[in-house]
Copies of this chain bind each other. A is one copy, B any other.
Amino acid sequence: MRPNQPSLTPAGEVKRAQPPTLRDVAEAAGVHAATASRALNPSTRRLVSAETARRVIKAAKTLGYQPNPIARSLKTAKSSTVGLVIPDLTNPLFPPIVRGIEDVLEAEGFSAWIVNTDNDPERERARIDSLRSRQVEGLIIATARVDHPFLEALHEQGVKMVLVNRRVENLEVPCVTADDATGIALAVRHLAELGHRRIAHLAGPHSTSTGVVRSRAFRHAIRDHGLEDDPSLTVECAHWNEADGATAMRELLDRDNRFTAVVAGNDLIALGCYDVFAERGISCPDEMSVVGFNDMPFIDKLRPPLTTVGVPHHDIGAEAARMLLDCIEEPDRRPRSLLLPVTLVVRDSTAPPSARPSS
């Protein structure tokens, strides 16, 4: 008696039916398991007669046969699975990216393992090892550190991967990012057109590639518009969050009170600015304009609603996934990188500079 068939024990009660296996459908179709395998697999179906294929497929359907991905993975060393390495799912930046990734993976029969690294390199290495032992066919890496301790090693071992929200120099790995440079340029142009001449920048940490790209773009844009190019108007935040944004803003205000606008490295840093405005009774946008970056969900619900650079997070994820699938299918293709367009979303945190100087 086959244990994985519904069957009666001597006592008479019904034993739990195990899911049907390939042999079950083969048996039901009066055929060998090997033939059933070929019939079920579209790419080998031409090896069996049309008639038997039909019979096997029908048997599979009536039994509700689902191939066992584990067994298949063991044999083929493929898993239809990719790893998704992010710092922290709790950061509102990532969920839309993840959805974008999953939407395209799912359409191709793939799924994603998500791991959080909390930006701890040790943890990152461990999680990636665990992903690899699970036979992931590729990696989508969204951890933003600019140094790449073992990415290089992974790449040399032939691990397929694509980077999102991050570029790595001297490494032949495809990446998809938002067009940070034009985003910053749009922000600066907007402020310049409103009449601001002295604009500050709260930069993201320079240990992240977006941090350096954005602050480099800021200096460029300032010069392009012939605005006041004062290096002391840029301060680097320790992390991409409100608290460090607030600290940086305080530092800036304490040493210079003549700027009338600030472009924040991202929305969270802009939120930090809001906190400092409240502390010091600075009114935004009357006395000080702020523009953020990312257009996080609900950022339009703040008072005032934040002017910011809109980033197509879902698309970033989707494109990254598509690119990874391409790499998996044709391993020899040259890595190409993608820069996704951003848009300026003007809301109420920016206005012309007031006549009276800011406090």
Contact = CB atoms under 8 A, between A and B. Distances in A.
A133 B19 contact: yes
A271 interface: yes
Contacts of A68: 74, 133, 135
A44 interface: no
A297 B111 contact: no
A66 B125 CA distance: 14
Q: Which range holds the interface residue count of chain A? A: 35 or more
Interface stretch (A54-62, A228-236, A298-306): A298-306
A73 interface: yes
A298 B73 CA distance: 43
Contacts of A130: 111
Interface in A80-102: 88-90, 92, 95-96, 98-99, 102
Copies of the protein in its oligomer: 2
A66 B135 contact: no
A79 interface: yes
A64 to B, nearest CB: 9
Interface in A276-317: 296-298, 301-303
Interface in A147-201: 157-158
Contacts of A89: 89, 95, 98-99
Contact of A16 (B132, B157, B296): B157
A357 interface: no
A191 to B, nearest CB: 22
